Chain A
């Protein structure tokens, strides 16, 4: 187990290093000059040159990369070329917002997907299968933007139950926080639930058709124990893997939702950084997202190996 974890850790670090290179190059391949965007379209060449010098944009790419990595390792992600604010400070302020949104979305998704996935699998071919399956198809098909506006129009404009937008820290007002987060978390959660529910149903069907389930039933175990303990545990290994991948995607996929609900999270920062060609801001936010993705995958791998010991044995034998 120890070697398995260490090897996975090594792969994660290597992936992270390669990610930083890709991030660095990718943002510079975007058309448009960040110094020109900062200086304004009508700016003199002298002003553009001064900005380029100040932000080190006149240095060769390898030098810029090493400077960025060197500073990043010390926790300094630079100053936003767009707003002049500290990138690390902006990320520190925005990360908890996006994390809260992601966690709430996952909770909503899991609360919907696991019971419905089980229900659909156990009652395969009946109405209790068709209804959740059709619901998941709708959940997959509905665009976040449309669903978000629909929720705002219903619950904020027409019913007046929830605020339409904005963010209040939980520490400042738990009610204010949750009343503003429930709609965006639901938008994200419904999409995620659709994916998880289908995975859950497939995994449960596979588990329920396995030999060990037949054996368990032959031994006279109750259906509740067979489904809720034996089948569920095995089905969860697949679902946890998918959840991990989806969680990473969720953190990077909040762009639209944060735009609709005016939530000052990482998604909105990503979009703003792209449009303002804010290299430092964009590098910071993508680096953080990539790191989150890699760490989550690492944790999923470890969790997966705990749930299914054959994984680490197989990995060790290879």
Chain B
């Protein structure tokens, strides 16, 4: 490693830390804490609201995998409570060459996978190559700019890039950074997810059904003295009120995704602590502007629905009162906003949102010459009661300006299929959020993204996003670019962001040490039961 590389790395790290420290709106919270010392041992049951798909980090696309897997599958990088990227299996933040096309990662030494296999640069290369080249890898698009991975020495890997890629480090702080045991990979291949072995405070024991994942304390973990629990079970309980009831009965000791309707009763329970942080994710109203032949397949051509008209989209948004929606539908637990970047993110910039103005909306509708009532079909995911309520509230708000919104309930797979095909007017969907701003914006606005249900394709935005992605080593400049992009996106209104989610976790008071940040990962490394519990 030369001096220039070191300087770039250090300056990048300092900038990232400074940026995070200056981000006044950044939110993340430590876990609930309970009185009393933490005792060693015990079995913790954590309820999650949906089932992970496969437990192979290369193939999984489920957010529930992301939330749970780091407990038995640590990553090269992690985030701290303020979402600053920190080294985990890496020894330090990476060094980046001045041209941004070479990234060098030093690894921690003396680490073993949970089967005793040594963790080293060879293991990292095997994993990164698998993520890049396996035909089924869901991570390949995230690593598309990586053209080669090289083992420099036993504890150093080098990534050669086709272009400077600022989001790379955050990608390696997510699923692409999870390191699987080469021994287990050689043994199971594409079936690795049936018995995953990685580096982690806990090792995978069994998955007797899709709904249950059993873990036990790892004997190989490098930091095992900090691990308190003997065993952990992640239990899928999809119904929010059933999760809440089980938490109250004590059959489970922690539960995520507590519904707003249950928060009040749980807060009044003396045995339970409620913890909430603002999520990186957001809820958005996707408007079909030009997706007539399928998302991710440009060129797009405008559709013939009323909201394809930019003026009518503006009028529609002016009828929406985000604060009222938050109060009526979510009991005030969400964070209203119009940017894809969450206030919890170090990359957040407070950009102005359109204020509700029905009179102005009426004027725009009248000026458009379109006959009222203007029909708009809003597709929502009916499996979620709150979504149904949200659809009804939007229907009532938009009606004031002459929009006749019909709410079409569907479930996620059918809704997603319709959105991709472009057979919708407006679609209510959500995004669980990523650490890097690019992955919260380009997923929807990039013309070639399969999530670009709206058919957005604007040269100014595309150019700015490309510029921001290639801006390495200057986070302040990059942050300003994303603020600029967010404002342009708001002017186009292909995607109308409504609010940022609240991550609500309920924990029995005898449990402490769960670290639950805005990235929604449930970190159990230091979790344990208090001596009084």
Contact = CB atoms under 8 A, between A and B. Distances in A.
A30 B418 CA distance: 12
Contact of B245 (A84, A85, A157): A157
B53 A47 contact: no
A225 interface: no
A269 B209 contact: yes
A43 B251 contact: no
Interface in B174-206: 191, 193-194
Interface string A174-211: 00000000000000000000000000000000000000
Contact of A262 (B56, B191, B235, B420): B235
A44 B416 contact: no
B251 A90 contact: no
A156 B449 CA distance: 48
Contacts of A250: none
Given A39-B61, A264-B212, A276-B413, A84 B193 contact: yes
Given A38-B61, A93-B209, A165-B242, A83 B51 contact: yes
Most buried by B among A41, A44, A268: A41
Interface string A208-251: 00000000000000000000000000000000000000000000
Given A84-B191, A90-B209, A259-B242, A31 B418 contact: yes
B3 to A, nearest CB: 39
A260 interface: yes
A156 B245 contact: yes
B209 A94 contact: yes
A42 B212 CA distance: 26
Contacts of B212: 264
Nearest to A48: B450
B191 A31 contact: no
Contacts of A33: 413, 417
Nearest to A81: B53
Given A82-B210, A269-B210, A41 B450 contact: yes
B414 A164 contact: no
Contacts of A46: 135
Contacts of A40: 61, 138
Interface size class of A (residues with CB under 8 A): 35 or more
Nearest to B144: A44
Interface in B411-428: 411-414, 416-418, 420
A47 B413 contact: no
A140 interface: no
B451 A42 contact: yes
Given A31-B418, A47-B140, A164-B251, A37 B413 contact: yes
A51 B210 CA distance: 20
B443 interface: yes
B249 interface: yes
A31 to B, nearest CB: 4
Contacts of A47: 135-138, 140
A259 B238 contact: yes
Given A47-B135, A262-B235, A264-B212, A156 B251 contact: yes
A44 B140 contact: yes
Contacts of B241: 149
B66 to A, nearest CB: 11
A135 interface: no
B239 interface: yes
Given A47-B140, A264-B209, A269-B209, A152 B249 contact: yes
A153 interface: yes
Nearest to B297: A45
Given A43-B61, A276-B53, A268 B136 contact: no
A152 B413 contact: no
A166 interface: yes
Nearest to A265: B209
Given A43-B61, A82-B210, A149-B245, A272 B51 contact: yes
A277 B415 CA distance: 13
Contacts of B383: 275
Given A42-B443, A84-B191, A37 B416 contact: yes
Interface string A78-111: 0010111100001001100000000000000000
Contacts of B59: 84
B427 to A, nearest CB: 12
A36 interface: yes
Given A41-B420, A164-B245, A259-B238, A32 B413 contact: yes
A264 B211 contact: yes
A42 B138 CA distance: 9
A71 to B, nearest CB: 17
A43 B450 contact: yes
Contacts of B249: 152, 156-157, 160, 163-164
B209 A41 contact: no
B8 interface: no
Interface in A60-85: 80, 82-85
A163 B251 contact: yes
A98 to B, nearest CB: 12
A275 B412 contact: yes
Contact of A85 (B137, B194, B235, B242): B194
B193 A262 contact: no
A113 to B, nearest CB: 28
B237 to A, nearest CB: 5
Contacts of B443: 42
A32 B416 contact: yes
18 contacts: A36-B416, A39-B61, A40-B138, A41-B416, A43-B61, A44-B140, A47-B136, A47-B138, A54-B136, A82-B51, A83-B207, A84-B55, A156-B251, A164-B246, A166-B251, A259-B238, A260-B242, A275-B413
Given A42-B443, A94-B209, 19 more contacts: A31-B417, A36-B417, A39-B138, A40-B138, A42-B449, A42-B450, A42-B451, A44-B140, A44-B450, A47-B140, A82-B53, A83-B51, A84-B59, A84-B193, A166-B235, A260-B242, A264-B209, A275-B383, A276-B51
